[in-house]
Structure 1
Amino acid sequence: MKIFSKISIFVFFVTLSFGCKTPSSDNTQNSEKRPNIIFYLADDQDVYDYGCYGNEKVITTGVDRLAKEGMLFKNAFTAQAICAPSRSQLFTGNYPLKNGCFANHTATKPKIKSVTSQMKSLGYEVVLAGKSHVKPYNVYNWDKEWEPVPKKDVPRDYIPLDSIENYFKTSKKPFCMFITSKYPHGKYFDVENPNAEDLKFYPFNAHKKSDKAYVKSRAGYYRSIEEDNTQIEKVLELVDTYLGDNTLFIYSADHGVSGKFTVKDIGLKVPFVARWPKVIKAGTTSDQLIHYTDVLPTFMEVAGSKERKDMDGNSFLSLLQGDDIQVNKYVFGVRTNQNILNSEVFPSRMIRDKRYKYIRNFNSIEVVEQNLTGKSNVDYFIKRGANAHKNEPFEELYDLQNDPFEQNNLAQNSELQSLKEKLKQDLFSWMQSQGDILNEEFGNMPIITPKGKKGFKLDQDTPRRKIPDSIKNTLAKDDYIVIEHW
């Protein structure tokens, strides 16, 4: 009996010691169960130009396959229809105004935490494969980063497929990889003798069906989409070959090319398709509002953390798991026309729920006189910006359920004034929370410039915009709002 008691006590303590694992052993075990995460991002492609989104004339078999095997989102958005600001939201979980990158070719604020630090802290390796277009390095400190690679007889560099394949073969820990294509962004393929009948037209471009130059450009764009499809299908082949079912794969495009620089849905609504075998039910759709700021919080929850301190976004993991719950009541949009080639003073902000959308164009021709400063050289550029967009009204309101292409402005509809007022006030509250350089008052029309010499100066020529000699180099530092972190 004594021997039996000693054996029993020994077994008890052995069992207890194995049952009380150290935190490090827990992390090791959990890391083996956590999924790899891959986010494939195309460049400048309209949400309407996919087979799975209703365009039967374009070749997108890779994305169409993902939609059949996973979940297609009908209401996914970026806040800004331009490259760097759109990408900064994905990587930080914050809208452009808060993260600091709200003009193209500019940097994120230096103290913002991005996906690299957030996911590394959760035991993930974080990789960028392809186009970057974000800075500074201390914010985006990738574990591995591979540049796009040149390829003959095509207009754009390719994603680094060899490096991606080797990584899939050899990775030892869970990873979060962004595969960022340069397609279908122009320069497009040169398609000879294009036929307008081979293209699909919508209310926003139907008037260009007889425009030969537009048709040629659009045909080249379709061909560039097809070229990106070859890359996507190759990546999916590599995923299926080297990675198991426990891989969350998301496809999107950073913004629409037809609505670039605007806050219209054709610019801000993005394709968004997710596949995760055994988690996402195949062939499903979601019409819940999700946003690029939601991506990082989702990835963090997938990795085991619900922490979202200092982030605008919300996790949509529950949607992937099949729970149809509201993620966002509203999504917001930002337009900053400065620091682009056309570079005019015409900022806009947008608020949108599932059905209605309100836009304020702060320097419209209707209100430009109230924005003038009394300084002739500054006022020249404020007037120039308003005249460059003279057909865009001060306020816009759309019923997207009945008018998805935003053709009928309801801002003056008497029956919708209380709705408009509610959206307007909620927009202003959001702008204040973001630390926006704009507010609801007139006479606040900031001219922005980066610190130092980088960026487009309003009083200098660009390849697409000429400034009269009499007004060149007349803006002083005090005439600008200088964005320190650019």
Structure 2
Amino acid sequence: MRLLPVLMLFGLAAHAQQRPNIIYIMSDDHDAKAISAYSKELISTPNIDRIAREGAIFNNAFVANSICGPARATLLTGQFSHKNGMKDNLLRFDSSKVTMPKLLQAGGYQTAIVGKWHLKSYPTGFDFWKVLPGQGLYVEPRFINMQGDTSTYHGYATDVITEEGLKWLDNRDKNKPFLLLLHHKAPHRYFLPPLKFVEAYTKKTFPEPATLYLSMEGHGKAWQLQTMSILKDMKLSSDLKVDPAYLMDIPSLKPDSAEIAYYNAIFNRIPKEDRARMKEIYKERGELIQRLKPQGNELLKYKYQWYMQDYLACVASVDENVGRVLEYLDKNNLAKNTLLIYTSDQGMYLGQNGWFDKRWMYDVSMRTPLMMRWPGHIKPGKQINQMVQNIDYAPSFLNAVGQKIPDWMQGISLVPLVTGKQTVLPRKNLYYHFYEYKADHTVLQHLGVRGERYKLIYFYPVNEWELYDLKTDSQELINLVNVPEYQKILKEMKAILMKLRDQYDDHEVAGELH
């Protein structure tokens, strides 16, 4: 009889080894262009690249609603925003919903999430969670634990999130397979890097995108209303760390009290041993502004470089911490039986059209990096060009561990695609719907459909349509909606859009669409 518990434990351990562990690393606003596996233009990210090199990289991965909270709800549910209830960042996720982590948990998985949550309700479906309140802080971050207590942790958020995730891996039940969601704050605005990467990246100069100085003239109302211009809307003090003292005598650049307060709040959180050096480095920006008093395109030139320096320094820290996870998996013999995913909640404008931030259905914002490593299942170096979407993640994880995909999930499993059992997905077009319109960036609500060649966008508050030929106009600058030769394509794309609205049960009135 004494052998029975031993045999039962052995059986549980063996079963755990048959089902893969899942580690899902998601950064915030990390554009694919800032990953060297996609582009060598801006930065080297050797650790993130390793996942792609040893697994599969998706060249056409997209999101369904390019904004933070909704992207997280889509991960949990495998549903579009109108179905999971998280249309924008202002709403609260219904934590009573059945989610992918709850299904894995019911199937015998240990589940944990560490880092950015951003859904207002407390996490459910997790055996362990430790999350940032709201957007979270870069330095000396605060975390909410499972008891509802908030504590401050010493250090830099990306490092702390990784450390807490690895601690959980150390202390988990080794007889069960696990799901770990590691959700980083970086490189989200206000782009505050750790000192060692500030030292390195403020010395660099980066190539300018071809459309950095693009005029908004000749484009639709949505372009005229947006407030995501690097020149006009990115703040010198709170975004780019220019000491307000250098700006007070320049009327056009003088910060308001809110910006000054945010600048002070940022630097007051930095430990004293680093703060003086950080201010010394950023002092060069203030001195340049005070000396040259740049305006217009000259100011944009400097602001773009400083944006890239800080943003990419945050990315470098993320890459370093991905390396820590890879090293942990290797040292603890977990790599072989772990499905490892790296992605972002959406793309990010890095100066294209003179913009920063996301939200749009244009590819820069809608596209997201995605790579998966699963030794023995995914062939190393696999390139996947099929269009996939973040509604596909939850069903893929369930499929990977052998669990049934619920009918209410709207995505499809990517497992047959990444394992080579399938070469074409049973879906030719992607549906998109963005809802949040507020003063921060004032991007109009819109919806649309992306095909392999054509994209149709409808800005329904102003009843404006846009049609793009992605083959001839990858930057989406030439609206073909009124070009006679494209009227047949326009009609076809509108029909596809209506079909997708029916398929995904999105019948909310949107302008002329019912």
TM-score w.r.t. the length of structure 1 is: 0.73
Unaligned regions of 5+ residues in structure 1, if any? Answer: 1-22, 368-393, 445-486
Match of 1:337 in 2: 436
Which of residues 473, 482, 497 in structure 2 aligns to 1:403? 473
Cα pair 1:129 1:160 within 8 Å, conserved? yes
Q: What is the count of residue pairs matched by the alignment?
A: 390
Larger Rg: 1
Please give the alpha-carbon distance, in whole angstroms, between the structure 2 residues aligned to 1:135 and 1:288.
34
Match of 2:166 in 1: 165
Cα pair 2:158 2:321 within 8 Å, conserved? no
Match of 2:107 in 1: 122
Cα pair 1:97 1:436 within 8 Å, conserved? no
User: Cα distance, 1:405 vs. partner?
Assistant: 1.7
Closer/same/farther in 2, CA of residues 102 and 168 from structure 1, 3 Å limit: same
Match of 1:103 in 2: 88
Which of residues 416, 424, 434 in structure 2 aligns to 1:325? 424
Q: Partner amino acid for 1:307?
A: I
Match of 2:137 in 1: none
User: Cα distance, 1:59 vs. partner?
Assistant: 2.9
Match of 2:339 in 1: 248
Cα pair 1:72 1:274 within 8 Å, conserved? yes
Map Cα deviations across residues 13-44 of structure 1 (whole Å, 9 max, x no partner): xxxxxxxxxx9999875433010011100101
Match of 2:43 in 1: 58
Cα pair 1:129 1:180 within 8 Å, conserved? yes
Which of residues 291, 297, 300 in structure 1 aligns to 2:395? 297
User: Cα distance, 1:263 vs. partner?
Assistant: 1.4
Alignment of 1:38-437 (within 5 A): 38-109=23-94, 112-137=97-122, 140-147=124-131, 150=141, 154=156, 156=157, 158-169=159-170, 170=172, 171-189=174-192, 198-205=205-212, 210=298, 211=300, 212-242=302-332, 243-258=334-349, 260-322=358-420, 323-338=422-437, 340-342=438-440, 346-364=444-462, 367=463, 394-432=464-502, 433-437=504-508
Closer/same/farther in 2, CA of residues 125 and 441 from structure 1, 3 Å limit: same
Q: Partner amino acid for 2:116?
A: K
Please give the alpha-carbon distance, in whole angstroms, between the structure 2 residues aligned to 1:100 and 1:216.
37
Closer/same/farther in 2, CA of residues 135 and 25 from structure 1, 3 Å limit: farther
User: Cα distance, 1:93 vs. partner?
Assistant: 0.2
Map Cα deviations across residues 401-432 of structure 1 (whole Å, 9 max, x no partner): 22222122222222222222222122233334
Partner of 1:270: helix, strand, or coil?
coil
Match of 2:353 in 1: none
Closer/same/farther in 2, CA of residues 152 and 84 from structure 1, 3 Å limit: same
User: Cα distance, 1:198 vs. partner?
Assistant: 2.5
User: Cα distance, 1:196 vs. partner?
Assistant: 10
Percent identical across equivalent pairs? 27
User: Cα distance, 1:219 vs. partner?
Assistant: 1.3
Cα pair 2:429 2:450 within 8 Å, conserved? yes
User: Cα distance, 1:64 vs. partner?
Assistant: 1.1
Please give the alpha-carbon distance, in whole angstroms, between the structure 1 residues aligned to 2:309 and 2:448.
31
User: Cα distance, 1:105 vs. partner?
Assistant: 3.3
Match of 2:291 in 1: none
Cα pair 1:49 1:58 within 8 Å, conserved? yes
Cα pair 2:165 2:180 within 8 Å, conserved? no
Please give the alpha-carbon distance, in whole angstroms, between the structure 1 residues aligned to 2:403 and 2:183.
25
User: Cα distance, 1:95 vs. partner?
Assistant: 0.6
User: Cα distance, 1:342 vs. partner?
Assistant: 3.2
Name which of structure 1's ranges 246-255 and 191-200 shifts more when overlaid on structure 2.
191-200
Cα pair 1:80 1:335 within 8 Å, conserved? yes
Unaligned regions of 5+ residues in structure 2, if any? Answer: 1-7, 133-139, 142-152, 215-229, 231-296, 350-356
User: Cα distance, 1:180 vs. partner?
Assistant: 0.4
